[in-house]
Amino acid sequence: MENIKRNYYGSLSSLVYDQSKPPGTSIDGDIQFYTEELIQRDGIVLEAGVGNGRMAIPLLRKGFEVFGLDNSQEMLDLYKANLVKYNMKSNMLLGDLKDFKTDEKFDSIIMPNGSFCLINRDNIIDVLNNFKAHLNENGKMYLDLIFPTSFKAGTIHEFDFQLDNSEIINVKNKSISIDWITQKTYTELEYWYKNKSEIQPFSLWWYGVEEFTNILKELEFKNINHIINYNNLKILNLKTLTFIFEK
Ligand SMILES: C[S@@+](CC[C@H](N)C(=O)[O-])C[C@H]1O[C@@H](n2cnc3c(N)ncnc32)[C@H](O)[C@@H]1O
């Protein structure tokens, strides 16, 4: 076993992410939502936790300038490969959300697909303050929060994921526990490919609307709003809450 790092995307988990959600794969209409929001704004967009460029590459293709940040070299390598494939260019940085540094200032920071929920609760104030430090005056943040509405502790889901070259990665997804006090789920993902394996211990934190609004107010963010499921009324259950707020 290798790569036992909490909430880290190693080579096999990044590969499965890329092949199951290649650039342009919309999750409940999120790419359309972000495109329509960002079109009203100027300047550079930071995608925090850019991953393989699922969201960033369609934005680049629409003419936005996107800067990608991620703490997984494996994910950034896939982002680079996807940029070559789509003949696009983007600045990028390998770094952690809580202490990354760049001289660049952003007009918008986006964090789609629940990446924020991967951040250890103890670090969210540092992360939000670091975002603030990298925003221009009146810069805007879009941050998706997700909820464990269908999490069932004790369940195991095992499947063979077929790669584009027809090879198989066996994936075992074990939903271990849900802690209602600390608002956290714990899942263990195990990937097997040929003789190689990777374990991805995965915690996700969730936040109430009042609770998160108060955190943002304490940090003196302005114009705090939220929308549900990207305003897509066809989704009946709460899946994604996007907080939108300004420096
Ligand atoms: C769920 S994926 C989302 C990828 C992409 N934003 C999308 O919408 O498809 C989460 C990404 O956040 C990155 N990430 C998680 N924790 C991070 C951290 N502390 N610092 C930087 N990146 C992080 C992961 O490596 C991964 O690429």
Say if 1 falls within a structural domain.
no
- Return the best residue to mutate from 47, 100, 113, 115 for the ligand 1 pocket (most ligand atoms within 8 A of CB): 115
Q: How confident is the model at residue 3 (pLDDT cuts 50, 70, 90)?
A: very low
Instruction: Judge if 24 and 80 occupy the same domain.
Output: yes
Q: Among the listed ranges 51-60, 164-173, 216-225, 230-239, which one has the minimum average pLDDT value? A: 230-239
Residue 28: CB within 6 Å of ligand 1? no
| Residues in the chain, total | 247
C-beta separation of 47 from 56 below 8 A:
yes
Say if 42 falls within a structural domain.
yes
Say if 221 falls within a structural domain.
yes
* Token duo for residue 145: 């929060």
Instruction: Judge if 100 and 138 occupy the same domain.
Output: yes
pLDDT exceeds 60 at position 1: no
Instruction: Judge if 15 and 124 occupy the same domain.
Output: yes
C-beta separation of 59 from 35 below 8 A:
yes
State how far the Cα of 56 lies from the Cα of 18, in Å rounded to an integer: 13
Amino acid at 148: P
Host domain of residue 184: 156-203
Ligand 1 atom with least separation from CA of 9: 25
Whole-number pLDDT of residue 78: 98
Residues 6+ apart with CB under 8 A from 227: 241, 242, 244
Ligand 1 atom with least separation from CA of 97: 20
Residue 68: CB within 6 Å of ligand 1? no
Distance from the CA of 166 to the center of ligand 1, in angstroms?
26
Q: What beta strand segments (E) does the chain contain?
A: 45-48, 66-70, 91-94, 106-111, 135-146, 156-162, 168-179, 184-193, 196-205, 222-228, 240-246
Ligand 1 atom with least separation from CA of 111: 6
Instruction: Judge if 222 and 183 occupy the same domain.
Output: no
The predicted-structure confidence for 153-180, as pLDDT tens digits, reads as follows 999 999 999 999 999 999 999 999 999 9
Distance from the CA of 114 to the center of ligand 1, in angstroms?
9
For the segment 204-223, the average pLDDT, to the nearest whole number, is 98
Whole-number pLDDT of residue 5: 83
State how far the Cα of 148 lies from the Cα of 114, in Å rounded to an integer: 11
For the segment 55-83, the average pLDDT, to the nearest whole number, is 98
Instruction: Judge if 38 and 71 occupy the same domain.
Output: yes
Residue 88: phi and psi, rounded to 5, are -120, 160
Instruction: Judge if 92 and 198 occupy the same domain.
Output: no
Instruction: Judge if 25 and 89 occupy the same domain.
Output: yes
Residues 6+ apart with CB under 8 A from 102: 67, 93, 134
Instruction: Judge if 116 and 176 occupy the same domain.
Output: no
Instruction: Judge if 133 and 217 occupy the same domain.
Output: yes
Instruction: Judge if 136 and 224 occupy the same domain.
Output: yes
Whole-number pLDDT of residue 187: 97
Ligand 1 atom with least separation from CA of 51: 27
Distance from the CA of 116 to the center of ligand 1, in angstroms?
8
Ligand 1 atom with least separation from CA of 75: 27
Distance from the CA of 47 to the center of ligand 1, in angstroms?
9
Give the bridge partners for 93, in sequence order. 69
φ/ψ bin of 194: left (φ > 0), alpha (ψ from -120 to 50), beta (otherwise): left
Residue nearest to ligand 1 atom 1, measured at CA: 115
Residue whose C-alpha is closest to residue 90's, from 122, 121, 51: 51
The predicted-structure confidence for 96-149, as pLDDT tens digits, reads as follows 999 999 999 999 999 999 999 999 999 999 999 999 999 999 899 999 999 999
Residue nearest to ligand 1 atom 13, measured at CA: 49
The number of domains in the chain is 2
Whole-number pLDDT of residue 9: 96
The predicted-structure confidence for 8-29, as pLDDT tens digits, reads as follows 999 999 999 999 999 999 999 9
Whole-number pLDDT of residue 16: 97
Whole-number pLDDT of residue 213: 98
Ligand 1 atom with least separation from CA of 112: 8
Residue 54: CB within 6 Å of ligand 1? yes
Question: Percentage of the chain surpassing pLDDT 90?
Answer: 94
Instruction: Judge if 21 and 109 occupy the same domain.
Output: yes
Give the bridge partners for 48, in sequence order. 69
